[in-house]
Structure 1
Amino acid sequence: MAVTTSAVAYPHVLRAKASAHVVVIGGGFGGASCARRLRWANPNLDVTLVEANPTFTSCPLSNEVIASLRDITAQQFTYDKIANEGVRVIVQAATAVDAHAHKVTLADGSALSYDRLVLSPGIDLDFTTLQGYDETAPARMPHAYKAGEQTLLLRRQIEAMENGGTVVIAVPANPMRCPPAPYERASLIAHYLKANKPRSKVLILDAKDTFSQQKLFEQAWDQLYGGMIERISLSQGGRVTAVDVTAGTIVTEFGNYNPQVANIIPPQKAGRIAALAGAADHTGWCPIDPVTFASKLVPDIHVIGDACLGGGIPKSAAAAQAQGKACAAAIVAHLASKAPETPTLTGICYNIVAPGYGFSLAGVYQPKGEIFAEVEGSRTSPLDAPREMRAKEAATAETWFKTLTGDAFG
């Protein structure tokens, strides 16, 4: 199926005419993994990956970039190897989905017809929920929750801050992408400040009372950073209700703050194309059948990754990748008129709170009713682990990242 496009289009391997065409929108961990597994499972399948950016920038480990511990290039991956495996890669935004006609419209006005469509659009920031934080605000108060230029902007602001300044991180309520990430970010920013601006501090203004692996984070903060990190929880008045970007003011229910650096992470929702396709409900997220990842709202469309309502499974890179693989298997089974297997998804994530100090959280998930639920208790690093174990987990995190990105991008 030829596509005329003014954007970049990777060449693809010549092959026999496919029996079906599957289009995947979104080239992150979920979408890239799904596209590759579709081709591997059925080499005759016609698979197209639609992604607006020629280079993917990974969120996992990007907090190390903010803390000047890692270069942004270590986070970046192209789609060359995926294209060489026979997936047609179109570097262009998808702007509309006609579910009735089974058609995706691209930014240049051209269209793709599909038999099955996979949406893996990640998150969008909800600029309607936090007063004063609109589409222009991130240029002054970065969210840095989509890795790339925002990551570097926050890093530059922290590097330019005077010794004695305060970095505020505003954390929204769940659901959100990678719930532990803001606390890892606070840790690594504190590491940078301790070495370079020791009179400075990090203040977390939190819309939650508790958070994932809280005791492990707080133990690390006590051991490594003393009183450099302060957290104000929801019940203490930590929920941010408004910002004044011009004045640099952050408003909470119990008081206002004027930090030198403001990292505002707003509430989130499924990526825009999910709503345009009709796959997102009133929550802003996408309800799915957890066995096949089929949308409950639109026929012949599947939703994976951060955009879907997954129940107990977290919105994380590892979860998205596991969903992408399981979704590919379900689609291949459907096209072969076979019943899909019930997926068992495993995922693990690592938090680095300082160089040589990390801990992890792992889970196993299966469909239960309308959602995913843990079938085993989460396995987290023990609170009483020796520092040698923390160092080992920090080293393992780098291996995990290489495996994760290699599995998705080749």
Structure 2
Amino acid sequence: MTINRRAFLGTSAALTAALATPMIARAQATPRVVVVGGGSGGATAARYIARDSAGAIDVTLIEPQRVYHTCYFGNLYLGGFVAYDDLGHGYQGLAANYGINVVHDWAVGVDRDAKTVTLASGASVPYDRLVLSPGIDFVDGSVQGWSVSAQGRMPHAYKGGTQVELLKAQIAAMPQGGTFAMIAPPNPYRCPPGPYERISMVAHHLRENNPTAKILLVDPKESFSKQGLFEDGWNRHYSGMITRIGPDMGGAVVEVDPTAMTVTIDGVVEKVDVCNVIPGQRAGQIAFAAGITDGNWAPVSAYDMTSKIDSNITVLGDAAAQGAMPKSGFSANSQAKVAANAIVAALTGSRAFPARYSNTCWSLLDTDDGIKVGATYEASAEGIVSIDSFVSQVGETADVRAATYRESLDWYEAITSDMFV
């Protein structure tokens, strides 16, 4: 399956044409939708609801950051393939082109009875429908010795933004022959191939700038996404540089000391120069404040992404427990379009269409050596289920791998346009 910018945006255009039905006149006040989180799920949902309702719905987007830096392609920044500024996107287009009220503040509370969102500033924002797309937060204690207060010395770099800049600076400052360590997260977590693409991109940087350096990958999981493809790429491009310690060798029994810069693996202490700790993950805090989680994630209906606890709340992307889709930017964008269609239909009387979802996750191994995995999905009573899938194969030609990488660049341009333009 090939994804390019025209095909990606063509899906959106088809949905737009299908939704171009007359709106039912409403005697009551304009309905209000509040979207919390301006990433791949939230920004897409806000844009599609505002656009497809043609002004019949008042849309407010609450996002603390004035410039959103994508988590995806952050690894390519570490590898030197894109600039940091290439990852940043503003919200001016959503306000100017679609009349969305963009509020740069933290959402800190939800009163489901009063249907209001409380902001850190003290303001209260009313809603008829609430969309939560808060991404991830970290599970306290999932890596012994590490907490968010230690992220300055041992960055997670798994939410985009300045943490990725910090990690890159630390890698660049490594002594010749030094050691980079990563503590990989347990399942489930954001972007299943993400930690392993990061290993590839760090290895690319080190091979070019610090060729005697070593990489230590400490992993609590038996296996990981695209494992055969990654290990084949590491053998071809970075032979002898990367050592993976899985659970059979102590990868599930790990402790870090950010002050001493050590990693203890099954009782053995390793001194390292840089340590990227990617902890266990859960839904963003606002989902807990709203009282719609199962203790880790927010269960939703596969048919429209509405919360199973409160049907007036929709949850998108990484925070949602929805079934078989991975937690990725592509997934969040796909879910947002389904949810926007359902919300516009519910609030205006326009037509709702059956839920269809898709996802592709690209990863870069080395220059022009791209790989991918993806699937299409449909809704069921048990959750979102895969109906077709594809994955790159070991031994593909250089032309195929280069085309896969170019495809990922086209997708990045397409999805960020779909979110912000």
State the partner residue of 2:74. Answer: 62
Say which of 142, 149, 153 aligns to 1:140: 153
State the partner residue of 1:253. Answer: 266
Contact 2:78 2:205 in 1 (8 A): no
Structure 1 residues 44-77: Cα deviation after superposition (integer angstroms, max 9, x where no partner) = 2101100011110001111121223321100000
Contact 1:18 1:46 in 2 (8 A): no
Q: Does 1:342 align with 2:387?
A: no
Alpha-carbon distance in structure 1 between the residues aligned to 2:254 and 2:290: 31
Say which of 382, 385, 391 aligns to 1:370: 382
Say which of 331, 350, 375 aligns to 2:343: 331
State the partner residue of 2:8. Answer: none
Q: 1:112 corresponds to which letter in structure 2?
A: V
State the partner residue of 1:213. Answer: 226
Q: 1:17 to 1:83 in 2, by over 3 A?
A: farther
Structure 1 residues 333-381: Cα deviation after superposition (integer angstroms, max 9, x where no partner) = 22245784331101112101112110111210112223111011x2111
Contact 1:279 1:287 in 2 (8 A): yes
Say which of 85, 97, 105 aligns to 2:118: 105
Secondary structure of the corresponding residue to residue 41 of structure 2 = helix
Alpha-carbon distance in structure 2 between the residues aligned to 1:18 and 1:54: 30
TM-score (norm 1): 0.93
Alpha-carbon distance in structure 1 between the residues aligned to 2:349 and 2:404: 44
Q: 2:71 corresponds to which letter in structure 1?
A: C
Contact 2:305 2:322 in 1 (8 A): no
Task: Give how far 1:145 is off.
Answer: 0.3
Q: Which has the higher contact order (CA 8 A, sep 6+)?
A: 2
Alpha-carbon distance in structure 1 between the residues aligned to 2:82 and 2:348: 45
Say which of 74, 77, 82 aligns to 2:89: 77
Alpha-carbon distance in structure 2 between the residues aligned to 1:275 and 1:334: 25
TM-score (norm 2): 0.90
State the partner residue of 1:49. Answer: 61
List alignment gaps of at least 5 residues for structure 2: 1-26
Q: 1:386 corresponds to which letter in structure 2?
A: T
Alpha-carbon distance in structure 2 between the residues aligned to 1:367 and 1:211: 25
Task: Give how far 1:229 is off.
Answer: 1.2
Alpha-carbon distance in structure 2 between the residues aligned to 1:17 and 1:264: 51
Structure 1 residues 200-234: Cα deviation after superposition (integer angstroms, max 9, x where no partner) = 11111001111111111111111111111111112
State the partner residue of 1:6. Answer: none
Say which of 36, 39, 42 aligns to 1:31: 42
Contact 1:68 1:155 in 2 (8 A): no
Contact 1:25 1:94 in 2 (8 A): yes
Query: Superposition pairs for residues 82-161 of structure 1, below 5 Å?
Result: 82-84=94-96, 85-161=98-174
State the partner residue of 2:409. Answer: 398
State the partner residue of 1:185. Answer: 198
Q: 1:233 corresponds to which letter in structure 2?
A: G
Alpha-carbon distance in structure 1 between the residues aligned to 2:235 and 2:403: 20
State the partner residue of 2:310. Answer: 298
Alpha-carbon distance in structure 1 between the residues aligned to 2:29 and 2:163: 40
Structure 1 residues 387-410: Cα deviation after superposition (integer angstroms, max 9, x where no partner) = 111111112211111111111111
Say which of 314, 321, 329 aligns to 2:326: 314
Q: 1:394 corresponds to which letter in structure 2?
A: Y
State the partner residue of 1:4. Answer: none
Alpha-carbon distance in structure 1 between the residues aligned to 2:321 and 2:309: 12
Q: How many residues align?
A: 393
Alpha-carbon distance in structure 1 between the residues aligned to 2:366 and 2:29: 50
Q: Does 1:21 align with 2:25?
A: no
Contact 1:96 1:273 in 2 (8 A): yes
Q: 1:329 corresponds to which letter in structure 2?
A: N
Alpha-carbon distance in structure 2 between the residues aligned to 1:141 and 1:17: 53
Secondary structure of the corresponding residue to residue 211 of structure 2 = coil
Q: Percent identity?
A: 39
Q: 1:345 to 1:144 in 2, by over 3 A?
A: same
Deviates more, 1:256-265 or 1:122-131: 122-131
Alpha-carbon distance in structure 2 between the residues aligned to 1:241 and 1:194: 27
State the partner residue of 1:164. Answer: 177
Task: Give how far 1:257 is off.
Answer: 2.0
Alpha-carbon distance in structure 1 between the residues aligned to 2:40 and 2:29: 25
Structure 1 residues 272-299: Cα deviation after superposition (integer angstroms, max 9, x where no partner) = 10100111112x1000011111111224
Task: Give how far 1:241 is off.
Answer: 3.2
Secondary structure of the corresponding residue to residue 139 of structure 1 = coil
Please tell me the root mean square deviation across aligned C-alpha atoms, in Å: 1.6
